[in-house]
Amino acid sequence: MQPDGKGTSESAARQGASVEFRHVTKRFGAEAAGGKGTPGAVNDLSLTVPPGEICVLVGPSGCGKTTSLKMVNRLVEPTEGQVLIDGQDISTVRATVLRRRIGYVIQQIGLFPHQTIGENVATVPRLLGWPKERIRSRVDELLTLIGLDPGGVRDRYPSQLSGGERQRVGVARAMAAEPPVMLMDEPFGAVDPIVRGRLQNEFLRLHQELGTTVLLVTHDIDEAIKMGDRVAIMQQGGYLAQYAPPAELLANPANDFVARFVGSDRGLKRLALMTVAEVDLREAATARVGEPVRSALARAAEAAYILLLDMDGRPEGWVNARRLRPEGTLDSEAADPSSPIFTPATTLRDALSMLLASAVQTGVVVDESGRYVGALTLEVVGAALRGATTPPPEALTIGSPSEPDDGHAAR
């Protein structure tokens, strides 16, 4: 009943299942037309979702996303080809049995209106004949997991909840029997953008705990990039245009359709997937508070700016080397503290916008305890985007913020 961590709940013990589409084609009306039917809603779809991953099917309206999803729980039968779960052809499994092992969340049809929230969430466990006590504790566990207070909502009806709350309950209901596979058709589509963002984050957190395999349908490429371990981009006529991890789609779109679909700002989208931890940082020239200026200058060599650190290695700010009198010692008065500060978890997209908004175009990267670990420049961001591992040599001596009046203006 606790909102427990990993290991203690039985949910953590379950593993997701692999899902494979093997040359799957669906033509509606094919039975009547003797196998022909017209035209294909899904055409020769082959892809494999590894256990525990989130696969997002994305594409314009009518490209066959929902049809593909429904072939996984046999709401739609393929005209040709097979769908396999953990290697087993699902056409050999009775549909009702299959569906108890597959969670299904859709946007339009919500909860059963005449059942309480608790009864809604308990639907599949009841079908599976779980003992009352186990159902009860599972329901409370799930409501807690999705961020609702079980005591507050368990006995209420769907109409008494907000749209976002209802959508959460829909997810909880789908997860109740710890299905190895979850199908989600535009699950966050009906709520406003802020609630949507929150639900997405909650679901990602939940997924990390549960390890279920998820197939999620959306028409929103940003949602696909955010949620997917892999993204299948589908194209009119039910064709799979590309199936790859988000970073790969953005870096190497397979064709013009994909390039247009992911958008002309795909470079920026890629930056949102990369963090400061993944790039090669520069070394700034550094000095300690209280250190003689002369020794700091000697170590800084030709660097125009020196990063002043306190006794614990935390940055105080940049000092302009040329404005220092060699006979004194360094004190924090001389330091300009206006540099952007990043942590290893900062996305490159955030880092870039902070660098662009700052007069000082070299950001300081600090660890969890705020200690200096490296410097981040626009060149580093650019190199990461180009996939370059070694920065151009002339950029290595930077370690200096720009200042409009001394010829070190920003590039």
Residues at the contact surface with ligand ADP, assessed by CB under 6 A: 28, 41, 59, 61-67
Shortest distance (Å) from residue 238 CB to ligand ADP: 6
Shortest distance (Å) from residue 43 CB to Mg ion: 16
Shortest distance (Å) from residue 86 CB to ligand ADP: 25
Shortest distance (Å) from residue 316 CB to ligand ADP: 55
Shortest distance (Å) from residue 236 CB to Mg ion: 13
Query: In terms of CB distance, is 19 or 293 closer to Mg ion?
Result: 19
Residue 66 found at the interface with Mg ion (CB under 5 A): yes
The Cα 287–Cα 308 span in angstroms is 5
Query: In terms of CB distance, is 52 or 187 closer to Mg ion?
Result: 187
Shortest distance (Å) from residue 264 CB to Mg ion: 26
Query: In terms of CB distance, is 66 or 286 closer to Mg ion?
Result: 66
Phi-psi region of 64 (alpha: psi -120 to 50; beta: other; left: phi over 0): left
Shortest distance (Å) from residue 226 CB to ligand ADP: 19
Residue 291 burial class via C-beta count within 10 angstroms: exposed 0-12, middle 13-18, buried 19 and up? middle
Q: Which does 63 bind (CB under 5 to 8 A by kind): Mg ion, ligand ADP, none?
A: ligand ADP
The Cα 59–Cα 17 span in angstroms is 24
Q: Taking contact as CB under 5 A, which single stretch among the options 66-74, 96-104, 116-124, 284-292 is the one that binds Mg ion?
A: 66-74
Closest CA to 84 of 76, 92, 75: 92
52 with 13: CB under 8 angstroms? no
- Between helix 266-273 and helix 378-386 the angle, nearest 10°, is 100
* Cα–Cα–Cα angle for 158, 163, 167, rounded to 5 degrees: 80
The Cα 367–Cα 344 span in angstroms is 7
CB closest to Mg ion, residue no:
66
Shortest distance (Å) from residue 189 CB to Mg ion: 10
Q: Taking contact as CB under 5 A, which single stretch among the options 58-66, 80-88, 280-288, 376-384 is the one that binds Mg ion?
A: 58-66
Query: In terms of CB distance, is 69 or 355 closer to ligand ADP?
Result: 69
Partner residues linked to 26 by β-bridges = 42
Query: In terms of CB distance, is 64 or 170 closer to ligand ADP?
Result: 64
Shortest distance (Å) from residue 3 CB to ligand ADP: 34
Query: In terms of CB distance, is 61 or 96 closer to ligand ADP?
Result: 61
Query: In terms of CB distance, is 65 or 101 closer to ligand ADP?
Result: 65
Residue 339 found at the interface with Mg ion (CB under 5 A): no
Residue 207 burial class via C-beta count within 10 angstroms: exposed 0-12, middle 13-18, buried 19 and up? buried
* Cα–Cα–Cα angle for 242, 246, 251, rounded to 5 degrees: 80
Query: In terms of CB distance, is 72 or 135 closer to Mg ion?
Result: 72
Query: In terms of CB distance, is 17 or 183 closer to Mg ion?
Result: 183
Q: Which does 130 bind (CB under 5 to 8 A by kind): ligand ADP, Mg ion, none?
A: none
Residue 167 found at the interface with Mg ion (CB under 5 A): no
Phi, psi of 104 (to 5 degrees): -135, 120
Q: Which does 41 bind (CB under 5 to 8 A by kind): ligand ADP, Mg ion, none?
A: ligand ADP
Q: Which does 61 bind (CB under 5 to 8 A by kind): Mg ion, ligand ADP, none?
A: ligand ADP
Residue 400 found at the interface with Mg ion (CB under 5 A): no
41 with 238: CB under 8 angstroms? yes
Q: Is the four-CA dihedral 367, 365, 198, 7 of positive or negative sign?
A: negative
Phi, psi of 378 (to 5 degrees): -60, -35
Question: Position 11: which residue type?
Answer: S
| DSSP letters for 154-181 | TTS-GGGS-HHHHHHHHHHHHHTT--SE
Q: Which does 116 bind (CB under 5 to 8 A by kind): ligand ADP, Mg ion, none?
A: none
Interacting residue ranges for Mg ion, rule: CB under 5 A? 66
